A and B are shown apart, each in its own frame.
Chain A
Amino acid sequence: MNAVYQTLQTSDNSADKATDRDVSAPLLDIRNLFVRFYTDTGVVHAVNGLNLSLSKGKSLGFVGETGAGKTTTALATLQLIPSPPGEMKGEIFFEGRDVMKMTEPEKRAFRGGKIAMIFQDPMTSLNPIMTVEEQIMEMVELHAAAVNPRERAREMLTLVGIRPERGKDYPHQLSGGMRQRVGIAIALACEPDLLIADEPTTALDVTIQAQVIDLIKKLQSSVRTSLLLITHDLGIVAEICDDVAIMYAGRLVEAADLRQLYKRPLHPYTRGLFDAVPRLDSDPNEKLAVIPGLTPDPTNLPEGCGFSPRCPRARPICREKSCGMREYEPGHFVDCHFPLESRGDGQ
């Protein structure tokens, strides 16, 4: 099993870092990332000490509730956190280089060229007054000067299953699924090393979801890019991803290989997520299982473990300090004092 999660609690774990980068340098390595937003209502702690890494060619499912900080992490990776209200701390290594220390032109070359992103809502993520072909050409012109942009744009349209003639159309002339495919075409036009898909199917209906997921899966293997898939949908993760990371209130709570995690969720939160998924064979009149309570207010996070106020297994120590990531079994990391011992019955 190729689990690549590190148990780095603090950034001064220098020995670990050095060896890590030499041996199997992961493509993306986020260490102890903090993102805060200073707003009128208080400081929003969006990401709190996140450690995450992803190796080349792999796909990672990044799962969590709305407001857990998934998108913020993605934007931080691209260095697109708006700076006056936002503040970033920590290190983000991409191919061994610290993204935070790049100059502005370097960052621009890196966005789109190295890491491309597919956005959640295809209705709003395309420029309404540019033809789709021109929008793909934008990406090519910014990053691959040698290629003929128009040819490349048509090639990409064909690749995502849109006839190249339709490149002359404006986004409003395309359906939601087609627009999302255009988004994918834009993202993959310069063959990035990492593709971040931010809930690419949330705004689409179920049949189109399947098409888009299939497309991402196929293209990911043919273009050989790594994938960071942000989603709420555990089913989609099971279909595409190699590894899974579960995020809650700005931290990872559990990370493992797909099989391990689905077979045996260790964190009570992960378990709660699986229990909340409706099953085909369950009684339709039966109420869905829910995790009691709400996600904590990011301006006022609880002491200790972020999940403790909602956790059925919480004990006094949970409210004092969080456990920190530890390797419970090889390749399976969990941030819980009292992980579930029993076999979980995930899907």
Chain B
Amino acid sequence: MNNITENITENMTGKAVAKGGSARGHSMWHYTFIRLRRNYLAMIGLVVILLLILTAVFAERIAPYGYSAQDYMMIRKPPSPKHLLGTDEFGRDVLSRLIYGSRVSLQVGFIAVSIALAAGGMIGAVAGYFGGKIDNLLMRIMDVQLAIPTILLAIVISSVLGPGLFNLMIAVGITAIPRFARLMRASVLSVKNTEFIEAARAMGASHMRVILLYILPNCMAPLIVQATINVANAILFAATLSFLGLGVQPPYPEWGGMLSAARPYLRSNAYLSIFPGLAIMITIVALNCVGDGLRDALDPKQKR
């Protein structure tokens, strides 16, 4: 037996040495990041998002004024050295309000998507793995939800729950569930019938082990991409709801709410709408760039 081993090893090692690349023992994430780094749009997006997160975390330190600090001498004044982005109709500093508003937007974006990802992912995984009647039932419920216009659904949910940050997250999260459920189900279905799942079963692994160790990790890539792009959608959606007065309540600033408040002054003080609009736009473009970059980086066809 030793003899065989030696023999075969001798035969193979030459090849193995030649093939053994320098990158050894790195995870899938490492390779994904290497590929992501080549995509400079995605990197710019990532930097923008990191800056936004830092801004949200250190809002108190960065903001020159409090979000509700009023200055009656400075009502609807255009940008000036004292107020870099001008002041609103109550004499509040727009820059400070935007900085505080980033907290709401990012929280809504990430938490609402987490809700949708958890619920939708679970529904999709169960439907895809077990199939049959359960699959039919769950997916038809999702279809029904998809048939209701999302904005209407969100308005109904937030008016039932009442306005507020947390309820806003729930409303936005619920409307995004079907997308995640369908995506998860599709990827579970495609992974479920691969040979390595059969191999794992033939190895004696239980259903639970197969789902947790084999199916879920292999389904993550499309979900991560969808989640990233959906954060942008959620922020936009939260802004829409705030614009309609169903989101965060004043005086706390929210980008959509600020847009809404600035509407009457569109002609006289356009900067009041332009800056919150720009903030939303930059965030969403950045998130979309990262999402696209991740999709390309996680694409297995690009391996090597």
Find A108's partner among B15, B16, B204, B303 (CB 8 Å cutoff).
B204
In the bound complex, residues from chain B placing their C-beta under 8 Å from that of A111 are 201-204
Q: Is the CB of A186 within 8 A of B203?
A: yes
Q: How many residues of A contact B (CB 8 A)?
A: 51
In the bound complex, residues from chain A placing their C-beta under 8 Å from that of B1 are 222
A9 close to chain B: CB less than 8 A = no
B33 close to chain A: CB less than 8 A = no
Mask: chain B, 195-216; 1 = CB below 8 Å from A; 0 = not: 1101111111110000001100
Q: Is the CB of A129 within 8 A of B19?
A: no
Of B4, B5, B199, chain A has the most CB atoms within 10 Å of the CB of B199
Least Cβ–Cβ distance between A316 and chain B, in angstroms: 43
CA of A161 to CA of B12, assembled, Å: 6
Mask: chain B, 14-53; 1 = CB below 8 Å from A; 0 = not: 0111011100110010000000000000000000000000
Q: Is the CB of A170 within 8 A of B202?
A: no
Q: Is the CB of A116 within 8 A of B202?
A: yes
Q: Is the CB of A169 within 8 A of B24?
A: yes
A127 close to chain B: CB less than 8 A = yes
CA of A191 to CA of B206, assembled, Å: 20
Of A75, A138, A158, chain B has the most CB atoms within 10 Å of the CB of A138
In the bound complex, residues from chain B placing their C-beta under 8 Å from that of A130 are 213
Q: Is the CB of A127 within 8 A of B204?
A: no
Q: Is the CB of B28 within 8 A of A170?
A: yes
Mask: chain A, 195-214; 1 = CB below 8 Å from B; 0 = not: 00000000000000001000
Q: A108-B206, A166-B20, A170-B28 are in contact. Are A127 and B200 (CB under 8 A)?
A: yes
CA of A174 to CA of B9, assembled, Å: 16
CA of A163 to CA of B5, assembled, Å: 11
B13 close to chain A: CB less than 8 A = yes
Least Cβ–Cβ distance between A84 and chain B, in angstroms: 7
Q: Is the CB of B300 within 8 A of A128?
A: yes
CA of A172 to CA of B214, assembled, Å: 16
A25 close to chain B: CB less than 8 A = no
Closest 8 CB pairs of A and B: A161-B8, A112-B204, A168-B25, A161-B12, A111-B204, A112-B203, A222-B1, A124-B195
Q: Other than A75-B198, A168-B24, give 8 A-B pairs with Cβ distance below 8 A.
A: A111-B201, A129-B217, A138-B205, A163-B13, A172-B303, A175-B15, A183-B199, A219-B4
27 A/B residue pairs, CB under 8 Å, sorted by A: A107-B204, A108-B204, A111-B202, A111-B204, A112-B203, A112-B204, A117-B199, A117-B202, A119-B202, A124-B195, A124-B196, A142-B204, A159-B5, A161-B9, A161-B11, A162-B16, A163-B13, A166-B16, A166-B20, A168-B24, A169-B20, A170-B28, A172-B300, A178-B12, A186-B203, A218-B8, A219-B4
Report A's interface with B, CB cutoff 8 A. 75, 78, 80, 84, 107-113, 116-117, 119-121, 124-131, 138-139, 142-143, 158-163, 165-166, 168-170, 172-175, 178, 183, 186, 211, 215, 218-219, 222
